[in-house]
Amino acid sequence: MAFAGRPEENGYSERLIRTIKEKHVSLTEYQNMADARDQIAHFIEDVFQRRRILGNPTPKEYEERWSKEHINK
């Protein structure tokens, strides 16, 4: 969520929630709340953070690239 006074940042979190709902939650049946938490955590960590199609960088790849460019100069 955005910092106080920065509503323009809410779009990023809203888009993440939409992606999780469209690409995982609406396509999955959960046995219980614990199963839902486990499967959604797996989706975020193993699918959303590490895999992309069409050549777009994952959040992890973007972070690594940014670190190399800005921190490891």
Name, in order, each residue with C-beta under 8 angstroms of 49's C-beta and a sequence gap of 6 or more. Answer: 58, 59, 60
Q: Would you kindly state where each structural domain of the chain is located, as residue ranges?
A: 7-70
pLDDT tens for each residue of 14-30 = 888 888 898 889 999 99
Distance set, CA 72 to CA 27, 64, 65, 68 (Å): 41, 10, 10, 5
- Cα atoms in the Cβ-side hemisphere of radius 13 Å centred on 13: 8
Per-residue pLDDT reduced to its tens digit, 26-65: 999 999 999 999 999 998 888 777 776 667 788 788 888 8
38: phi then psi, degrees, rounded to nearest 5:
-65, -45
